[in-house]
């Protein structure tokens, strides 16, 4: 979207919004790259919360960071709104694309999928690939002007390796433990305690209840699966093994679509809460990638996805933030 007017301030500032299935981060930075304000809100997954609640969430978050920084919406030189599921429904997208105009009062912004935030933050906007494993999972990369994404088709039949996917596998494992189809491990006791189950079958009520079967609430079960794996639960560890492999498959599909030549270094980073489990997910992820290609160069994320959104906003305005 083209810049339609100049910001009120002499230099202006850049607004980054990193949406997600569980939380949404808002960051405001100045032209030197200094962070001016930060705010965190709830889910911006419009499929779950609806467009009206998305509008409210974005309005509250944007004005919260503006108040913190002591600036107005007119001082925003450019903004980027990374929204989950953006670009995945041609009927809804035009509605999503105009919400920021109502919030900011001007058209110096762009909307895109939140995968861009993770990529721009992790690699500081440089060529390479970023894989996101948060509530959902998705990968995105850029190389020499080419752009490619992989995964991110939603929790019903995709989002492999995500917190939601791990949680569903963990719930399945619990059911098999309870039935005697799988050896009982630490995961069983962890879920009984967390859901305060008097009977194992009470888990059905907890999960399928009207307020229970929410995407972010189910995804949170992944933390219990990780805890069980760290306590030596073989079934839980296998879930993370499979998750790492699935995330590597998404990544390598993107590498091939970006047409990397043999021997050409593929800069790769990652973001999302699943990676907070450390080697539990990173070890199988690295091993599978190495089997696909020796050219991957895995680097830790340089900046958060929210800062990445601000970096991308500056790029869209034709400005390169001085990053350290």
- CATH code for the domain in which residue 204 is found: 3.30.420.40
**Residue 181 domain-assigned (yes or no):** yes
**Residue 2 domain-assigned (yes or no):** no
Residues 133, 228: one domain?
yes
Residues 233, 145: one domain?
yes
The whole-number average pLDDT for the span 91-99 is 96
Which pTM was predicted?
A: 0.88
Beta strand extents in 35-115 (DSSP E only): 35-41, 76-83, 109-113
Residues 80, 97: one domain?
yes
**Residue 165 domain-assigned (yes or no):** yes
Residues 73, 95: one domain?
yes
Determine the pLDDT at residue 266: 98
Reported as a pLDDT band with limits 50, 70 and 90, residue 4 is very low
Determine the pLDDT at residue 10: 45
Total domains in the chain come to 2
Determine the pLDDT at residue 222: 98
Residues 159, 35: one domain?
no
**Residue 1 domain-assigned (yes or no):** no
Residues 150, 228: one domain?
yes
Question: Given a cut of 80, is residue 8 above it in pLDDT?
Answer: no
Q: What is the pLDDT of residues 97-116, one digit of tens each?
A: 999 999 999 999 999 999 99
Distance in angstroms (rounded) separating the CA atoms of residues 122 and 137:
15
Structural domain that includes position 185: 125-301
Question: Given a cut of 80, is residue 5 above it in pLDDT?
Answer: no
Question: Given a cut of 70, is residue 161 above it in pLDDT?
Answer: yes
Residues 164, 255: one domain?
yes
The whole-number average pLDDT for the span 292-303 is 96
Distance in angstroms (rounded) separating the CA atoms of residues 59 and 68:
14
Residues 198, 208: one domain?
yes
Q: Decide: residue 268, CB within 10 A, 0-12 exposed, 13-18 middle, 19+ buried.
A: buried
**Residue 281 domain-assigned (yes or no):** yes
Q: What is the pLDDT of residues 211-231, one digit of tens each?
A: 666 888 899 999 999 999 999
Q: How many residues does the chain have?
A: 324
Residues 55, 77: one domain?
yes
**Residue 268 domain-assigned (yes or no):** yes
**Residue 3 domain-assigned (yes or no):** no
Residues 152, 294: one domain?
yes
**Residue 5 domain-assigned (yes or no):** no
Residues 174, 81: one domain?
no
Determine the pLDDT at residue 211: 66
CB-based contacts of 269: which residues, under 8 Å, 6+ apart?
Answer: 119, 122, 123, 128, 129, 130, 131, 298, 299, 300, 301, 302
**Mean of the per-residue pLDDT values for the chain?**
94
The whole-number average pLDDT for the span 139-146 is 96
Determine the pLDDT at residue 212: 61
Determine the pLDDT at residue 3: 36
The whole-number average pLDDT for the span 26-47 is 96
């Amino acid at each position: 979207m083209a810049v339609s007017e100049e910001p009120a301030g002499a230099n202006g500032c850049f607004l980054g919004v990193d949406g997600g299935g569980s939380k949404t981060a808002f960051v405001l930075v100045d032209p030197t790259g200094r962070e001016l304000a930060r705010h965190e809100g709830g889910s911006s997954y419009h499929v779950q919360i609806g467009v009206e609640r998305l509008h409210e969430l974005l309005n509250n978050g944007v004005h919260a960071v503006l108040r913190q920084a002591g600036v107005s919406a007119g001082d925003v030189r450019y903004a980027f709104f990374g929204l989950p599921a953006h670009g995945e429904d041609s009927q809804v997208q035009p509605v999503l694309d105009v919400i920021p105009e109502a919030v900011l009062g001007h058209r110096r912004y762009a909307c895109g999928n939140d995968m861009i935030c993770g990529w721009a933050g992790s690699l500081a906007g440089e060529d390479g690939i970023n894989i996101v494993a948060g509530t959902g999972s998705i990968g995105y990369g850029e190389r020499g002007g080419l752009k490619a994404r992989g995964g991110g088709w939603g929790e019903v039949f995709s989002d492999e390796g995500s917190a939601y996917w791990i949680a569903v596998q963990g719930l399945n494992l619990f059911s098999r433990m309870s039935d005697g189809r799988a050896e009982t491990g630490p995961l069983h006791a962890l879920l009984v305690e967390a859901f305060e189950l008097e009977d194992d079958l009470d888990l059905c009520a907890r999960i399928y209840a009207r307020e229970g079967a929410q995407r972010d609430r189910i995804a949170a079960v992944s933390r219990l699966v990780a805890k069980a794996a760290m306590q030596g639960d073989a079934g839980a560890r296998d879930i993370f093994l499979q998750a790492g492999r699935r995330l590597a498959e998404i990544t390598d599909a993107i590498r091939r679509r970006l047409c990397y030549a043999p021997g050409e270094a593929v800069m790769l980073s990652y973001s999302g809460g699943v990676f907070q489990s450390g080697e539990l997910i990173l070890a199988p992820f690295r091993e599978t990638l190495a089997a696909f290609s020796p050219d991957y160069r895995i680097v830790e994320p340089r900046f958060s996805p929210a800062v990445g959104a601000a970096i991308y906003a500056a790029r869209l305005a034709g400005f390169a933030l001085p990053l350290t």
